[in-house]
Amino acid sequence: MAFAAFSSTKSNGTSKPKKTGRVVIALLAPGLAYLGAFFLTPLIALIMVSLQAQDPYGGIGDYIPAFEINNYFLVITEYFPHMFRSFSYALIATILALLISYPLAYFIGVKARPYPLLQKLMLTLVIAPFFISFLLRTLAWKQIFSNESWIVTTLQDTGLLEADQYVVGTPFMVIFGLTYNFIPFMTLPLYTSLERLDTRYLEAGSDLYASPSKVFRKVTLPLSMPGIISGTLLTFIPIAGDYINASGDFLGSSSTAMLGNVIEANYLQINDYPSASALSVLLMGAILILVAGYVKKSGTEDLL
Amino acid sequence: MAKEFIARGADLELKKIRKEFPGFTAIEELDLHVPAGEFFALLGPSGCGKTTTLRLVAGLETPTSGQIFIGGEDETETKPHERPVNTVFQSYALFPHMNVLENVAFGLRQRKIDEPLVKAKEALNLVQLAHLADRKPQQLSGGQQQRVALARALVNRPSLLLLDEPLGALDLKLRREMQIELKAIQMEVGLTFLHVTHDQEEAMDMADTVAVMNKGRIEQMGAPEALYDRPKTVFVSKFLGQSNLLVGEVESTSANSVSIEVAGNKISVPKTRAEKHTGKIAIGFRPEKATFTNKKPAASSSTNIIGPGEIIDIRFTGVSNQYLIEVPELGNITVFAQNIGKSPVTELGEKVWISWSVEHSFGLSDLPNTGEAA
Amino acid sequence: MNQNLPEDPQLREMVKAALAHKVTRRAVLGGAVATSAAALLAACAPSDKAQLTPATDVSDSDPSLIWSNWSLYVDVDDAGNYPTLEKFKSETGISVTYREDYDDNDSYFGKVKDQLALGQDIGADLTCPTSWMAARWINAGYVQTFDEAELPNKKNVQPAYLGEAYDPQRTMSLPYQGILAGFAFDKKAYKDATGKEAPAVLADLWDPSLKGRIGVLSEMRDTVGIVLMDQGVKIGDANSLTEDAFMSAIDVIGQKVTEGQIARIKGNSYKDDLVNGDTIVAIAWSGDIIQLNAEAGYDRFGFVLPESGGTISADCFVIPMGATHKKNAEKLMNFYYDPYNAAVLAAYVNYITPVVGAKEEAMKLDPALAENQLIFPSEEFLSLTQGFRALDSKEEQAFTKAFQKIKLGA
């Protein structure tokens, strides 16, 4: 949702209405109607709910329209650790996904170019996990790292884990799950970007006295920046809002709850819709600010 | 790692270079010496191995066997970035994420040369593009990009500058201008240029020495005039300009010349201009060296005559007329006549005799493929 | 939904959990839309307690019924049919659309609360919230009053289920199955870890050798209830179960979570953790343990009530105001209050049947089953159980929030 907002503002900013204004409006109408109906309306509703106050005469889950800005301060004070945790996990998992995906995408997109069959096979392997439900795969990891699994017992035997320490429910497990689940969203944009990379630029770089590592930093990396940007956005944004991996039902525990889990609990368990909505708005706003700053900083607006 | 910043060109020597790719051999065996400070052109059709040769020198490919020396040092095993060589790529390969000035300064920065931007600006001045320093390469025309690519290579003062058909993408007029400019710059900076091209005019126009490559080997090498005046193989005679070739057994040999008989005509070539003196040989002459007359000229030991033939095609090309004359048993002969307003015959279907000076004949080391029109 | 589940029990649990969570995710989206709509409607809707009228009953002309229930909560044969529902159809001609979409009290409520508040059809004629949630619906006026004439078998309800403050005579809610929460434990793992046969008191769960291997239910009333009873609180008594008492129980749980003694706080999926061995002792529901043992093929897990007692509650039939097949729904309740039918159901779902006479019928079907205290508990056994008292909405909000805070950590 946040991403949609971001990209829509971008496209609005760059579109230039031409003389055939009516045709343009006619062509834009479905898109604008879609944005209005499925983005703007829910957003306004969300913001309205986030400002509601408890109905003094009502029961659980009964709120009345109000302008309770205080809702925001309350959730920030109460759930700051979760916000911090969400963004830390998202940052770490995104960096890990990038570090793992980049060499993989580089191999598939550049090194494997002479072997189309290998390229296709490897791409299929990257996408293959998508054919199995995200939830099932996450549960499978929970089984693999279960307390009695050989991995955990081996770690305990070798002293890497204390006898009463386990893997499931730890931040490590959650970040592992997040990284694992979102790696394809990193690999594919990186692949499409690297696949188009003209290797003659790399030759030019080495011809101009740049060592292989310099060529990578000065040529390959900047040229694959669009892929890095879209990959990191496609990974960071959903991870920041993810509530499956960190949930106690999957890989997490109460010590790993992220903002998504807090929103879920407020919405479905406590029936505190204003708090849940305020948190959603905050999450969205924080992501928008981070993303805008990031894109600006990386200075690649024209490459996007 | 940084090499000496060399102001003068170095010589290049390739020894018994062989390069195989999976499935084919790009270079059979190549020995080549390019003296320092020379403008050297590698000329050949596409697929002849000239670009592979250039990439081997740049270090972008490794030879299967053989050695590469630049300025007397063995560079066979060194990496591209360690070689005192720069390349102007056919595609220019200007970095799209940097502006023109940064592109030019790239090599200087890598070698940690002082004041890279100042030097880059000077190089841009040399190619008269200093005013476009802040542009991105995509915003430049083809010719401008080509000059930026040249500046980006030249600014490093490489011992050896490699040019990979850098003018190929330009239109004719621009190409002529760039050829002149490039030659002028080479003279000015005194570097060794190795220029790869398939354009024979470009090669002959610019190079001190031209090496004609075919099928992975050098067929002939020399000054452009010498190559043109005395091609030694059928390929060179055809690739470098046009040639008429006549094939026959050696009939007689005098002290100075070798003669063959073709279709009842005795055709001679000076011994010094013939690669072979016995057996079946091919003798050629350039179309512009021959004339034709509608009467058989008087026989002379210093003139070769064939005919009569019939003019079957006349083409007006501006500076000259091209006549295609069909001679029975010999096939078609091409003759150029300067367009000076007194061509001997201008009618199609006329019967003519073709003659040229024996001194202008050349004897080749090989024979044209059978079935090919001589 | 569960027709095509895999044979392997572990995998099946995984699939079930995954399916269950799919519903939850959808519920979140549904909830978001519903609430957005509600926000827009709220401006013109009165905030007073609903004065709703029952929807027109079309049962006489339409012999059908939609029943929303919890998963794995009715008998299913190998072909995926529901034998008792088929029997019901052959007896009454009423066909039942059975939906396993009641995943969680709170999330189901979140999904339908706006329709309930407006007296609209929630897409089900009959559903089975847990008693405290049923109480919330009754207090809010969201459900219809039964027609006693259609419910002659109501006389079979266990007396223990009568007298609840929210519905003393069971005129708007009728227990479907009784639920007992206590300690479930992996017999061998527990003995290996502690050297003891079975946990008896809550303190046994805090044994250092069980660190990280304790699970508790995310159902607040069961988990906090058991801790409260351990502290000597009478959870059915408002004078005993005060806010202070509740919060001190919350502190105990919170501390054990922080220390890492309690590793999991979960709903239905706590069973996975028992099966794969992650959890050695859990606060759990009795019916599940019988099913898990059946799947394991041997008595792998034990179930005991703590010496201080376990919690008891019930999932209750209710007919929402917007339901249009009230009479059909009453016929179905009447059908399950027939002792024989109740026994057949109990033999499959393994929860406590609220129907008097079902035990006798069960004796005829399977004597061993009838002896099972967890399905047909004796008076003595039941005396060890207490039901969580009704909470007013302020308390409920405060308690729920405090409990959720444990789940969400710092």
pLDDT tens for each residue of chain C, 410 residues long: 344 444 554 445 444 544 444 433 333 333 444 444 444 444 333 334 557 889 899 999 999 999 999 887 898 888 888 999 999 999 999 999 999 888 888 889 988 988 998 899 999 999 999 999 999 899 889 999 999 999 999 999 988 888 888 899 999 999 999 999 999 999 999 999 999 999 999 999 999 999 999 999 988 999 999 999 999 999 988 999 999 999 999 999 999 999 999 999 988 788 889 998 999 999 999 888 888 888 889 999 999 999 999 999 999 999 999 999 999 999 999 999 999 999 999 888 888 999 999 999 999 888 888 888 888 888 888 888 898 988 888 898 899 999 999 988 86
Please report residues of A whose CB lies closer than 8 A to that of C15: 136
Q: Which of A55, A257, A273 sits opposite C47 (nearest CB)?
A: A55
* Gyration radius (Cα) of chain C, Å: 21
Helix axes A225-241, A171-195, angle to 10 degrees: 150
Chain C: residue whose CA lies nearest to A146: C278
Quick check: bond before B308 cis, omega within 30?
Answer: yes
Q: What pLDDT is attached to residue C372?
A: 84
Does residue C263 belong to the interface with chain A, where contact is any CB pair within 8 Å?
yes
Q: What pLDDT is attached to residue B188?
A: 79
Does residue A262 belong to the interface with chain C, where contact is any CB pair within 8 Å?
yes
Contacts of residue B343, defined as CB under 8 A and 6 or more positions apart, other chains included, come to B321, B337
Domain C179-312+388-408 part of CATH 3.40.190.10: yes
Residue B39, SS3 per DSSP: strand
Chain B: residue whose CA lies nearest to A114: B22
* Gyration radius (Cα) of chain A, Å: 23
Please report residues of B whose CB lies closer than 8 A to that of A225: 97
- A62 compared with B83, residue with greater pLDDT: B83
Q: Could you tell me the pLDDT band of residue B8, with boundaries at 50, 70 and 90?
A: low
Contact B60 A204 (CB under 8 A): no
Mutate which of A115, A197, A202, A208 to disrupt the B interface (most B C-beta within 10 Å)?
A208
Please report residues of A whose CB lies closer than 8 A to that of C42: 52, 63-65
Does residue A58 belong to the interface with chain C, where contact is any CB pair within 8 Å?
yes
Fold assignment, C10-173+318-337: D-Maltodextrin-Binding Protein; domain 2 (3.40.190)
Q: What pLDDT is attached to residue B255?
A: 84
Please report residues of C whose CB lies closer than 8 A to that of A244: 21
Q: Tell me if B231 sits within 8 A of B43, measured CB to CB.
A: no
Those chains having 3 or more beta-carbon pairs within 8 angstroms of chain B are A
Closest C-alpha to B225, from B239, B204, B195, B194? B204
| Boundaries of every domain in chain A | 79-298
What distance lies between CA C311 and its chain's CA centroid? 12
Please report residues of B whose CB lies closer than 8 A to that of A208: 81, 86, 106-107, 110, 152-153, 156
Fold assignment, A79-298: MetI-like fold (1.10.3720)
Q: What integer is the mean pLDDT of B341-367?
A: 82
Q: Could you tell me the pLDDT band of residue A299, with boundaries at 50, 70 and 90?
A: low
* Gyration radius (Cα) of chain B, Å: 25
Please report residues of C whose CB lies closer than 8 A to that of A89: none
Mutate which of C15, C216, C278, C396 to disrupt the A interface (most A C-beta within 10 Å)?
C278
Q: Where would I find the H helices in chain A?
A: 2-14, 21-35, 41-50, 70-106, 116-127, 134-144, 150-157, 171-195, 199-207, 212-215, 221-223, 225-241, 259-264, 273-298
Q: Which domains does chain B have, with CATH numbers?
A: 12-229 (3.40.50.300), 234-364 (2.40.50.140)
Mutate which of A156, A271, A275, A279 to disrupt the C interface (most C C-beta within 10 Å)?
A271
Domain with CATH 3.40.190.10 in chain C: 10-173+318-337, 179-312+388-408
Q: Which of A214, A222, A225 sits opposite B110 (nearest CB)?
A: A214
Q: Is this prediction's pTM over 0.90?
A: no
Contact A209 B107 (CB under 8 A): yes
Q: Tell me if A173 sits within 8 A of A253, measured CB to CB.
A: no
Asked casually if ipTM beats, i.e. exceeds, 0.85, the reply is no
Q: Tell me if C385 sits within 8 A of C180, measured CB to CB.
A: yes
Most confidently modeled of A252-256, A298-302, B169-173? A252-256
